[in-house]
Structure 1
Amino acid sequence: MGRIVDLMSQPGNLRYAIAKGFEPAVRGFLWQLVRLRRPRFLFLGRGIKFVSAYNLRLGAHVAIGGYSYIETSAKTPVIFGDNVTLREHAWVQCRSGLNPKGDGLELQRGVYIGPNAVIGVSGKIVIKAGCQIGAGVSFSAESHEFLDGSYTTGATARKGITVGENCWFGNNVTVLDGVEIGAGSVVGAGSVVTKPLPAGCVAVGAPARIIRYTGAHQTEEPV
Structure 2
Amino acid sequence: MTTTVEVESEIVPPFSFVAPNGLHALPIAPSPEERAGLSREFVRELYSSGNEAIWEPSAPFYAALAEYMADNGFAYSAMGLFAREEGGVAQCALTVAVAKTDQTDTEIAAQGILAALSGNPYNDARWLDLPCGPAVSCVRVNELTVQPEVTRADGPVELLTGQIQVHVPFSTGPYTVVFTLDTAAMDYWAEFCNMMSAILQTISFESPSEDLSSVSIPA
TM (norm. structure 1) is 0.21
Considering Cα pairs closer than 8 Å and 6+ residues apart, tell me whether 1 or 2 has the greater RCO.
Answer: 2
Which structure shows the bigger proportion of residues in helix conformation?
2
Whichever structure has more strand as a proportion of its residues is 2
